[in-house]
Amino acid sequence: MVTVTLSDVRDQYVKYWAYFKTVYRFVFEKGRGEYVAYAREQEGREERLEKNWFG
Residue 37 lies in a domain: yes
Residue 32 lies in a domain: yes
State which residues form the domain around 17: 2-48
Residue 15 lies in a domain: yes
In sequence order, what E strands does the chain have?
2-9, 21-29, 34-41, 47-48
Could you tell me the pLDDT band of residue 3, with boundaries at 50, 70 and 90?
A: confident
Q: Are 35 and 48 in contact (CB under 8 A)?
A: no
Q: What is the pLDDT of residue 41?
A: 80
Residue 54 lies in a domain: no
- Provide the domain count of the chain: 1
Predicted confidence (pLDDT) per residue in 5-53, tens digit: 776 555 556 555 566 677 888 898 888 778 889 988 877 899 999 887 7
Residue 8 lies in a domain: yes
